[in-house]
Structures are given as structure tokens and as C-alpha cells.
Amino acid sequence: KAGVTQTPRYLIKTRGQQVTLSCSPISGHRSVSWYQQTPGQGLQFLFEYFSETQRNKGNFPGRFSGRQFSNSRSEMNVSTLELGDSALYLCASRRTGANLEQYFGPGTRLTVT
Amino acid sequence: KQEVTQIPAALSVPEGENLVLNCSFTDSAIYNLQWFRQDPGKGLTSLLLIQSSQREQTSGRLNASLDKSSGRSTLYIAASQPGDSATYLCAEGGSQGNLIFGKGTKLSVKP
């Protein structure tokens, strides 16, 4: 069974630009969550999507948004990029149910210059 | 505010040693606790998941325990190997399903 895949793996953008990251969950998994990892803050929850609806959201500004498609694939968008947005962005998928194991993808390394 | 703390931040041990990594959490309504491994620049690999109704889980040389009353979890690694060198993260799962992570323990196992 294929794992969680994320594209692209690496990205370099300039301040003020916007970026879209993609995540394909494990087959049969309907929940996709996004996390940001930085050296200073560690791993922080961005949002979770289930059945094309945002179900939960972390404490991030509105520049961070996402969506989920009918095939459970998810995209995350960051507009008006800032230097502080440089991070490893990880997505995780699981079947329904809050008590189920989450499986992470390899991440997208975003560098903002 | 829910918080997860991992101590120590870094640990260096000789090969073959048994070791314990610690994780503490503040949310008594925890749904589950998950331990992950992260190699440099990579994603997270799930090691063990303990439901709130369970006391421990085992997988190979790894054993994780959960004590909700004291707000603690431990990851025991038996007979450590250089290939175990990585950062180990614990994460508390709440009713909403999102994970709250500790900052991790960076483990180095010397040959």
C-alpha cells in the first residue's frame, strides 16, 4: 500500500509570492491534516480536512488555507509569503476516528527568500 | 493550554544500552499518545500508538507506556543500535483528532 505522498519535495519562493503544496493520502484514508515544522516552534497543527470540509484549525493567520478534493487529496496554500514561513510542511492521513493512528508524508521543504 | 514536554532534549548512549525517553502532557482528557521517529530532513515514521484505555504497547525492541493520572509516557528502547539514532517525538491526540507535539529528544547511539 502506497504511503502518504507530498509534492513538491522542495520549493524556493520569494517574499510576497504565494505557494500551493499538495498531499495525497493513503488509499482509503479520508482525513488529511497539515503541520508546520520549524526549528524554533517545532511541529504545529495547521488544519484538518475530512470529506472536503475543514474540520479543525490551528492558530495560524488567514494567509494559510487549504482544501480537500472528492478523492481525499488535499492542497495547502500560503499567500503573501513571509521569511518566517520557511519550514518543513508535513501532511498526515488517517481513517475516520480521532483515536486512529496518523501516517505522515515526507514533507515539503519551503524556503522563502 | 495543552502542552507536551520531552526531556532530555538530547541523549548520547553507547551501542547496546537500554534507554528510556520521557514525555509529559497536561491534558488529562487525552485520546491517545503516539510516538514517532524523525530522521534528519525527513518526515515522521509512526512507532507506537497507545489509546487512552491502554497502559502500554510493544513493537520489537520498543515499548511505550502511558500513565494518564500522572500525565506521562515513556518510550523504552532495548539494546540500542546506531541505526536507532534519530529524533524521537511524542504527540498527544485529543478529541478533535489533531496532534500536539513535544519538541523531541535527539538520540545518538555511538558504535
Look over chain A and give the mean of its residue pLDDT values, rounded to a whole number: 94
Q: What is the pLDDT along chain B (111 residues), one digit of tens a residue?
A: 789 999 999 999 999 999 999 999 998 788 899 999 999 988 999 999 999 999 999 999 999 999 999 999 999 999 999 999 999 999 998 877 789 999 999 999 999
A103/B29: higher pLDDT:
A103
List, for residues A3-46, the tens digit of each pLDDT value: 999 999 999 999 999 999 999 999 999 999 999 999 999 999 99
**pLDDT band (50, 70, 90) for residue A81:** very high
For residue B93, list chain A residues with Cβ-Cβ distance below 8 A.
Answer: 98-99, 102
How close A107 comes to chain B (CA, Å)? Answer: 6
Which residue of B36, B96, B101 is in closest CB contact with A98?
Answer: B96
**pLDDT band (50, 70, 90) for residue A104:** very high
Nearest chain B Cα to A39, which residue? B103
Test the A interface: residue of B31, B32, B42, B44 with most A CBs within 10 Å: B44
Q: What is the pLDDT of residue B29?
A: 81
Mean pLDDT check: name the lowest of A15-19, A69-73, A108-112, B27-31. B27-31
> pLDDT exceeding 90 applies to what percent of chain A?
87
Nearest chain B Cα to A50, which residue? B97
Write the CB contacts of A6 (distance below 8 Å, at least 6 apart in sequence). A21, A22, A23, A24, A89, A90, A91, A105, A106, A107, A108, B43
How close A99 comes to chain B (CA, Å)? Answer: 6
For A90-98, what is the mean pLDDT?
A: 85
A42/A1: higher pLDDT:
A42
Write the CB contacts of A59 (distance below 8 Å, at least 6 apart in sequence). A44
Nearest chain B Cα to A56, which residue? B96
For residue A43, list chain B residues with Cβ-Cβ distance below 8 A.
Answer: 89, 91, 99, 101
**Statement: residue A98 has pLDDT above 70:** no
**Statement: residue A112 has pLDDT above 80:** yes
Q: What is the 3-state secondary structure (H, E, C) of chain B?
A: CCCEEEECCEEEEECCCCEEEEEEECCCCCCEEEEEEECCCCCEEEEEEEECCCCEEEECCEEEEEECCCCEEEEEECCCCHHHCEEEEEEEECCCCCEEECCCEEEEEEC
